[in-house]
Amino acid sequence: MAKKIKITECALRDAHQSLIATRMTLDEMLPILSTMDEIGYYSLECWGGATFDSCIRFLDEDPWERLRTIRRECPKTNLQMLFRGQNMLGYRPYADDAVEYFVQKSVANGIDILRIFDALNDPRNLETAIKASKKEKAHVQACISYTLSPVHNNEYFANYAKTLESMGADSICIKDMAGLLTPYACSDLVAALKKTVKIPVDIHSHYTSGLASMSILKGIEAGADIVDTAISPLALGTSHMPTESLVAALQGTEYDTGLDMKKLNVVRAHFAKLREKYLASGQLNPKMLGVDANTLLYQVPGGMLSNLLKQLKDAGKEDKLEEVLAEVPRVREDSGYPPLVTPTSQIVGTQAVFNVILGERYKMVTKEFKGLVHGDYGKTPAPISPEFTKRILGDEQPITCRFADTLEPEMEKLKAEAAKWVRQEEDVLTYAMFPQVAPKFFEKRNNKLMGVDGDHVDFAGKSHPV
């Protein structure tokens, strides 16, 4: 059955995260937000992922204020975020009470759709986030972290999607972070999912390998309901296929999006000026806009590749890149074929770098890699051999339970630690995710917000004595 294809616009989050390391500011977004709200997008992906980290680390912006502002300017359109399951937006697993509180505050501040994923596709790491989202009456879009390996096939992905649907997912996203989907593979996967689940299917495919447009079109023909795109000045390269191109391709067909090209051109013009600014300042490296088919050989997402290059450059071993790229799949095989997405991309990549530059495999093992083998990040897609486990962990036994079950509730402790900086309830969550960076941000922000009478006006407009 043909149907109107829905569009999720990624310009406000994943597009600039992919191309300029998440450096777009709220001031740069503000002039176009009300126009974007009139387009008729299914959703604006505008928060989560690395935006939180970037806001407080580099931009001196409060991420919660960013969300509230976008909500105020875009009252008609669903606002969507990317959420790392039990890791929230940080880089470690959090206790359930922290995850529940973060979901509650995200929805209260304006999020309609939580796109929730786990790097290992371990459903246990999504349980708490899904339940909390349903409690807040938000839409849960649960993700398949797409990858290729001897254990990843359409049957595996379809079974996982069925599990996510039974857990309460309202839609399924094929999260193709490295641009590995080929057109016919995408068609077959979407068809398998549509046979297995009764909820909508979204395709999220990065353009890194140059395949996304073809893959998305075949996916639409196979029954996909929603597609992620980016307005053309922030499209292609490590970002997504251009919004206008897909709208034009589907115009007049049974899949017509119904979006107006003239209205989209106004959005395009705004981001075209920003693109020129980013190119002039060096924030946007033209290399990020090209096609890198190496991703099909090594399954290394664009962000992971730049991270590997930096690590090698810092060690004075840039000439070792090819060796590291060849080592990544071997480390991945040893560690149970994890998909390469935050945080497993960093864990596998860093271990591959050590293996190459030290001249001996696993001579030095990172704490995070030990954690991956130990089960701290969840169950790996394939079992890790007992011999390799012993090599990495020694006599320590891996865990088989959900790691979060080993964690004590932590919100009260976090509230106590953050008390001296807190000016809004959400600040505790900012501190929870980035305890090293957040205090500096809070001090700077709070100094700006101090009034002459010693009162402080918080972001919700309520006055509190300091």
Tens digits of residue pLDDT in 47-91: 999 999 999 999 999 999 999 999 999 999 999 999 999 999 988
d(C-alpha 205, C-alpha 241), whole Å: 8
Q: What does the pLDDT read at residue 460?
A: 45
* Cβ atoms < 10 Å from Cβ of 76: 11
pLDDT for 220? 98
What pLDDT score does 458 carry? 47
CA quadruple 383, 386, 392, 397: dihedral, nearest 10: 90
Contact 39, 267 (CB under 8 A): yes
pTM of the entire predicted model: 0.93
**pLDDT (0 to 100) of residue 461:** 39
pLDDT score of 297: 81
Give the model's pLDDT for residue 231.
98
Phi-psi group of 233: left, alpha or beta (phi > 0 → left; psi -120 to 50 → alpha; rest → beta): alpha
Q: Which helix (H) or strand (E) holds 7?
A: strand 6-9
Q: Given this model, what pLDDT does residue 459 score?
A: 45
CA distance 442 to 446: 6
Tokens 């995408």 correspond to what residue?
186
Amino acid (1-letter code) at residue 83: F
Closest to 191 (Cα-Cα) out of 161, 228, 214: 161
DSSP 386: H
Q: Residue 97: its pLDDT value, please?
A: 98
Beta strands in 348-428 (DSSP E): none
**What is d(CA 175, CA 147) in angstroms, rounded to the nearest whole number?**
9
- Start-to-end CA span in the chain (Å): 60
Residue ranges for the chain with pLDDT beneath 70: 1-2, 302-303, 451-466
Q: Which segments within 49-138 are labelled E, that is strand? A: 78-83, 113-116
